[in-house]
Amino acid sequence: MIAPEPFFQPRGTPFSVYHRTKALAGFGHEIDILTYHLGEDLEIPNTNIYRVRNMPFIRQVIIGPSFKKFFLNILILFKGLSLLKRGDYDCIHAHEEAGFFAVFYGKLFCLPVVYDMHSSIPEQIENFSFFKNPITVGLTSWMEKRIIKNSEAVIGICPHLIEIVGSIDEQKKAVCIENTPMVEDLKAVDDNKKEALRREIGLADEKVALYTGTFERYQGMDLLIDSIPYVIKEFPDVKFVLVGGKDWQVEDVKKAVKEKKMVKYVIFTGLRPFEDMDGFMAISDILLSPRKKGTNTPLKLYSYLKSGKPIVATDLLTHTQVLNNEVAVLTDPKPSAFASGIVKLLKDPSLGQTLGKAGQKLMEKDYSYEKFLEKTKQVYDYIATKA
């Protein structure tokens, strides 16, 4: 399994790599993970972790395309060749852009390839404004087509990606497997823990609108901050709790909050471990996802749904692949509209309860861990027929 990211770190793709590996190990497969020099070594049954050589001048890798990733991926390419030459493998499972290496390896060593597609590569280049020009987008589009056409099977983490696969090769075996397993770790929170958390972050009895996740630009942090004054006009007792963000990103958002004179209405917690998320959602009244760009489903949505709390999200494909008006308040991606969605729930708590319960039912019906295992097994049963 080739994972071109820091593994393990608590963010989207590494979570997916971990749970995909854990599921395959549970089916009795033996897995070697090839990844960057960064990250925590996890104990996973039947699994070995191999890393590229230590690069002391690279201490972190940001989400999305970067020159650091380009350099580290060259190391991945050669390390992968070394492992394949001396190993006895039945399949190559590649995440993200490592699919390009994988299809090369597959041809060279006559092995089937499973491509774990977490995003569309050309869309990611555009979303992150990384060498955003027609030549780069065209090149990455060609690369994505080569990966899909030369993989035996493709896993997409949301329906939009499966549509992309079908548009490139309508005969390709493609299975949508949402990133839901981590939700299984969320537990009920007792009143003592809730009260302790409220005291820790400086909350009294205010209503809480919660955002969790990264502070990358596409997440819509500016949209969220710009919506706060509209909400405060009608509900001055609301606190916006923002969980996540690297230090420099938090400082940038704090600056925007200060400019709008909203400092007393916003609480920043910085990065917190995933095991704290159940507590934050438990003390919240409304959960927020203001994303403005992209088509992938935010990982947080599955946790949000399981919590039973009402959600306000922008009415864009990134959300509507999972959410609908029966489980969330969906708004235009404009500050006044997003604020109106929050105000709507603050005015009508019973609506929030109805949406929250419907969200929990949707989670249980369509996104359970059993469904995740069933779909993962389906892919590898198919690969077994091709080996």
pLDDT digits (tens, 9 = 90+) for 164-217: 999 999 999 999 999 998 888 788 899 999 999 999 999 999 999 999 999 988
pLDDT digits (tens, 9 = 90+) for 16-68: 999 999 999 999 999 999 999 999 999 999 999 999 999 989 998 987 778 89
**Contact in structure between 270 and 238 (CB atoms under 8 Å):** no
Read off the pLDDT of each residue in 246-267 and give the average, rounded to a whole number.
Answer: 96
Which residues touch 113 (CB under 8 Å, ≥6 apart)?
91, 92, 93, 94, 99, 102, 103, 105, 106, 150, 151, 152
pLDDT digits (tens, 9 = 90+) for 114-168: 999 999 988 887 766 556 677 777 888 999 999 999 999 999 999 999 999 999 9
Query: Among 129, 128, 131, 89, which Cα is nearest to 2's?
Result: 89
Instruction: Name the pTM for this structure.
Output: 0.88
Please give the share of the chain, as a percent, with pLDDT higher than 70: 98
Ranges in the chain annotated CATH 3.40.50.2000: 2-180+368-386, 184-366
User: Which pLDDT does position 132 carry in this prediction?
Assistant: 64
User: Does residue 387 register a pLDDT over 70?
Assistant: no
User: Which pLDDT does position 71 carry in this prediction?
Assistant: 94
Q: What angle do CA 125, 130, 133 make, to 5 degrees?
A: 80
Please give the share of the chain, as a percent, with pLDDT higher than 90: 84
Question: Omega of the bond prior to 8 within 30 degrees of 0, cis?
Answer: yes
Query: Among 127, 147, 149, 125, which Cα is nearest to 135's?
Result: 125
CATH architecture of 184-366: 3-Layer(aba) Sandwich (3.40)
Tokens representing 121? 């590569």
What does the mean pLDDT of the chain come to?
A: 94
Give the CATH number of domain 2-180+368-386.
Answer: 3.40.50.2000
Q: What is the 3-state secondary structure (H, E, C) of 127-147?
A: HCCCCCCHHHHHHHHHHHHHH
